[in-house]
Structure 1
Amino acid sequence: MTHIRRLTPGVCAALAVGILATWLGGFAPLIGGPIIALLIGMLLTSLRGTPAGERMQAGAGFTGKRVLQLAIVVLGGTMSLAGIAELGARTAPVLFGTLAIALTSGWLLAKLVRISRDESVLLTVGTSICGASAIAATAPILAAEASVIALAVTAIFTYNLVAVFVFPWLGHLLGMSQEAFGLFAGTAVNDTSSVVAAASIYGAEAAQIAVVVKLTRTLAIIPITIALSWWIARTNKTAATASGEVATKRKRPWQLVPWFLTGFLVAALAASLGVIPAAWSDGLHLIAKTLIAAALAGIGFTVDFAVIRRAGFKPLGFAGVLWVIITLSALGLMWATGWL
């Protein structure tokens, strides 16, 4: 009960903003409820001058992470596994081609820019795969310091915000279909919340497709972390074995699969088998959209502008160059494979 009471203020505030933003989004569909919720949250934070206070912080953080993940599970109830498999086959060249280019570019860029090994690795996997989730999975393997992790998350979050604002506009400028934009957002935006927000602004169909593409991309965490563990053990055996604490923090490969990916697939299976009626689809979409807006409001409540200012140019510059490379390679591969 104490934990629930601690979460209640932030959760209720984020849900209230999410409901309001979803309603307002109906009058401004090009902007959409999620981005309105994010803007309201950030506006309230900027007026306050600091992120949410202690009474709000826990609930806002919970909403920004867990409620967003719940929304992805709800979206799974509107899809079929057959459609997911078919979409995966069609998007694979763009998705995995972009991933390969991103990882290679990050490795080459790290040789040109004087930043630490941990910074370059965290920024590369975070930008290439799935933002903070990839950073959280790889940081224990590197035994990265908290300040390095914070810098990486902040740098990537900065470009997530840019993507949410710019990508829907770019999609309309290029005349992308709902399917094409879903692929673009799922491939070129690195954090789940920003992928869902950008795609939801573009349209419901785009959001469905973006979630599938993004979750497929998230699975790359498993081989990447295994390869990174092997690389660390081979090139720096002393660092890999000196700390028992580091070793105990490492996760098994199956533990790296996010719970909401499993939930999404279970919900999609239920929809495919008719356990979740097709008539519920519109209602589930509305629920998911409202939960997404609430999650973005929670993220807005916890934005620390001071940390962003202190991040410095190098991590931001590294992540920015890599983000541009990913965006351009995604567009190029989409054009080459007939999506544009």
Structure 2
Amino acid sequence: MEFIKKSWKGFLLCLCIAIPAWFLGQLLPVIGGPVFAILAGMVITLFWKNKDNVQPGITFTSKKILQYAVILLGFGMNLTDILMKGKQSLPIIISTISTSLIIAFILHKVMRVPSKISTLVGVGSSICGGSAIAATAPVIDADDEEIAQSISVIFLFNVIAALIFPALGSLLGLSNEGFGLFAGTAINDTSSVTAAAAAWDGMHGSNTLDAATIVKLTRTLAIIPITLVLAFVRTKKEKSSSGTKVDFKKIFPFFILFFVLASVITTVFNLPAVVTSPIKELSKFLIVMAMAAIGLNTNIAKLVKTGGKPIFMGLCCWIGIAAVSLGMQHVLGIW
């Protein structure tokens, strides 16, 4: 009861920001609700300095609600359908994810980009944008400004990809199948994959949207091994730095197990779209709420000042993923 008394104001504030951001995201899916929410939160924070009475609710929303959103995301994952339809794309997905993570690691070392931002940009670029960042952030204990920085970088290249990839695919002479694989593996956020595939279908009278979405969902499954590996790495680092035994239970991403459980339930019971679609929409809305909270905890001036290196890292990851996606298609004889 005491927790509710302390948290309801901040929770309600995030909800009030999330509702218009959600609808704006529906009108402009290339940008998406999470970006509108995080920007609104940052602007409000510029003018509202003392948020002590709403801070507990903002913190709860940015941490716990974000994890609940990832769990609900699992209900949109029918593993049988994804693995049947997405197995052709697995070699390309593994190659692009590896490429992005390697590029992020190298630039982290060379340019001394903070490790948590490097991890979030690398994972967000290679797996599924905001959802991957939402899943990874609690595991590596990233703060809200690091999350906001990474989301901003991912958003920038999402918009560019959605706008230029259909024309680029036509210029390169990609087939409909080839473009579906290209969009699904080289664009990191679902809304931008959808926008690019829909634009391609409009240009070519094809139906690549379903294929691109399946490839994208197959990529999303990489959240599971990546977060588990990061949990082990963090445990090892903290143990070596402190010299004492680290409580793995505090670091282990239990919410990912619930994400897997949700996916298994959807698969075993073959839940119909009439059941899973509302849950998926709720998951997306909770992510928008969490992004509003993260925006409220973020100093926009500091974000702009420190943004150069992460943006360059995001650019390199994005170019690397696109090049490897096309290269692997060529090697596999798809393109």
TM-score by length of 2: 0.69
Q: Name the counterpart of 1:18.
A: 18
Q: Name the counterpart of 1:172.
A: 163
Alpha carbons of structure 1 residues 240 and 32: separation in structure 2 relative to 1, 3 Å: closer
Matched, 1:184 2:175: no
Alpha carbons of structure 1 residues 132 and 20: separation in structure 2 relative to 1, 3 Å: closer
What aligned pairs does 1:114-263 form with structure 2 within 5 A after superposition? 115=112, 121-129=115-123, 137=139, 154=145, 157-175=148-166, 181-186=183-188, 195=189, 210=216, 213-217=219-223, 219-223=225-229, 226=232, 240=240, 243-244=243-244, 247-249=245-247, 251=248, 258-263=253-258
Deviation for aligned residue 1:302: 1.5
Alpha carbons of structure 1 residues 216 and 207: separation in structure 2 relative to 1, 3 Å: same
Alpha carbons of structure 1 residues 124 and 299: separation in structure 2 relative to 1, 3 Å: closer
What amino acid sits opposite 1:69 in the alignment? Q
What amino acid sits opposite 1:6 in the alignment? K
Deviation for aligned residue 1:262: 1.9
Matched, 1:301 2:303: no
**Distance in structure 1 (CA, Å) of the matches to 2:326 and 2:315:** 16
Deviation for aligned residue 1:98: 3.5
Q: Name the counterpart of 1:143.
A: none
Q: Name the counterpart of 2:173.
A: none
- Asked if structure 2 preserves the Cα contact closer than 8 Å seen for 1:164 and 1:197, the reply is no
**Distance in structure 2 (CA, Å) of the matches to 1:83 and 1:215:** 13
Alpha carbons of structure 1 residues 327 and 12: separation in structure 2 relative to 1, 3 Å: same
Secondary structure of 1:248's counterpart equals: coil
Matched, 1:93 2:87: no
Alpha carbons of structure 1 residues 47 and 162: separation in structure 2 relative to 1, 3 Å: farther
- Worse-matched range after superposition: 211-220 or 64-73: 211-220
- Worse-matched range after superposition: 56-65 or 9-18: 56-65
Structure 1: runs of 5 or more not aligned: 140-148, 187-194, 234-238
Deviation for aligned residue 1:53: 0.7
**Distance in structure 2 (CA, Å) of the matches to 1:125 and 1:33:** 23
Q: Name the counterpart of 1:55.
A: 53
What aligned pairs does 1:261-272 form with structure 2 within 5 A after superposition? 261-272=256-267
Deviation for aligned residue 1:288: 2.6
**Distance in structure 2 (CA, Å) of the matches to 1:282 and 1:132:** 20
**Distance in structure 2 (CA, Å) of the matches to 1:208 and 1:15:** 31
What amino acid sits opposite 1:33 in the alignment? G
Deviation per residue, 1:288-335 (Å, 9 max, x gap): 332222222222221123543675x8xx52x44432221111111221
**Distance in structure 2 (CA, Å) of the matches to 1:295 and 1:200:** 23
Structure 2: runs of 5 or more not aligned: 124-131, 170-178, 199-208
**Distance in structure 1 (CA, Å) of the matches to 2:61 and 2:240:** 35
Deviation per residue, 1:82-101 (Å, 9 max, x gap): 13434664443344323433
Deviation for aligned residue 1:12: 1.2
RMSD: 4.1
Deviation for aligned residue 1:30: 4.2
**Distance in structure 2 (CA, Å) of the matches to 1:266 and 1:166:** 32
Alpha carbons of structure 1 residues 31 and 228: separation in structure 2 relative to 1, 3 Å: closer
Deviation for aligned residue 1:18: 1.8
Deviation per residue, 1:150-209 (Å, 9 max, x gap): 6xx7466424213224413422321287775454344xxxxxxxx578668879977886
Matched, 1:274 2:269: yes
**Distance in structure 1 (CA, Å) of the matches to 2:105 and 2:26:** 44
Alpha carbons of structure 1 residues 261 and 23: separation in structure 2 relative to 1, 3 Å: same
**Distance in structure 2 (CA, Å) of the matches to 1:6 and 1:68:** 19
What amino acid sits opposite 1:262 in the alignment? L
- Asked if structure 2 preserves the Cα contact closer than 8 Å seen for 1:40 and 1:297, the reply is yes
**Distance in structure 1 (CA, Å) of the matches to 2:27 and 2:9:** 28
- Asked if structure 2 preserves the Cα contact closer than 8 Å seen for 1:200 and 1:289, the reply is no
**Distance in structure 1 (CA, Å) of the matches to 2:145 and 2:6:** 26
Deviation for aligned residue 1:282: 3.3
**Distance in structure 2 (CA, Å) of the matches to 1:89 and 1:9:** 46
- Asked if structure 2 preserves the Cα contact closer than 8 Å seen for 1:41 and 1:298, the reply is yes
**Distance in structure 1 (CA, Å) of the matches to 2:215 and 2:56:** 31
Secondary structure of 2:246's counterpart equals: helix
